[in-house]
Structure 1
Amino acid sequence: MYATLVLSILALLSCLGIRYWINRRKFYRRSPLGAEGFSSYEKSVFILFLERTGKWISYILIIFGLLFLWSYSRENKDSKKMIQEEVSYKHV
């Protein structure tokens, strides 16, 4: 039961880490005028492709993190319901 909670937290934290790292690299690559500076065309294409792929991976991690969190809440609700039914059944 707690595995889904841990997985959701790990997915969401790793998503935030990836997004922070990509945006930080983008920020420090900009000139004072706001243009991004690359040493070559090939390097710009490769880096932009990796950053775009990283952002898609972070979106997928957000979805998985939210699904794991939803799954944990459903498991928690179901276990509380079963415990309540057991207690009420024993009192009858």
Structure 2
Amino acid sequence: MSPALVLSIIALLSGFGLRYWINRRKFYRRSPTGAEVFSSYEKSVFISFLERMGKWTAYVLIVLGLLFFWSHSRQKKEKDKEVQIEVQNPK
């Protein structure tokens, strides 16, 4: 396995995992009426800020994972093309 593929898998899993974890926490923090419940205003502001930053981090990880995967596919195509040229034109 190439390093780009490994980094792609790690970044994608981390990004989707982080989004899942944040959304799950948000879901379980809701009351029966659907409103989020916090013990204090400060906690509400702090947690909302951290979750917003966490979601942006997850988006960045997902985009990086896709870019690494794209890079891996481009490297594989170039390598396959080189092998095909060597087979057609042996020295």
| TM bucket, shorter chain | over 0.9
Q: How many Å apart are 1:59 and its aligned residue?
A: 0.6
TM-score by length of 1: 0.96
Q: Give the superposition deviation at 1:16.
A: 1.0
Whether 2:91 is the aligned partner of 1:87: answer no
2:75 alignment partner AA: E
Gaps of 5+ in 2: none
User: How many residue pairs end up in the alignment?
Assistant: 91
C-alpha displacement of 1:35 = 0.2
Cα deviation, residue 12, structure 1: 0.3
Identity of aligned residues (%): 67
1:10 offset after TM fit, Å? 0.3
Find the residue that maps to 2:11 and give its secondary structure: helix
Structure 1 Cα separation of the partners of residues 62 and 17 of structure 2: 12
Q: What RMSD over aligned residues (CA atoms) do the two structures have, in Å?
A: 1.1
Aligned to 2:15: 15
Which residue of the partner structure matches residue 3 of structure 1? 3
Distance 2:41 2:34 in 1: 18
Query: In the alignment, which residue of structure 2 is the partner of 1:27?
Result: 27
Name the counterpart of 1:63. 63
Ranges of 4+ aligned residues in structure 1 off by more than 4 Å: none
TM-score, normalising length from structure 2? Answer: 0.97
- Cα offset, 1:89, TM superposition: 0.7
Q: Distance in 2 between matches of 1:46 and 1:59?
A: 20
Q: Which residue of 1 aligns with 2:49?
A: 49
- CA shift, 1:52, in A, is 0.1
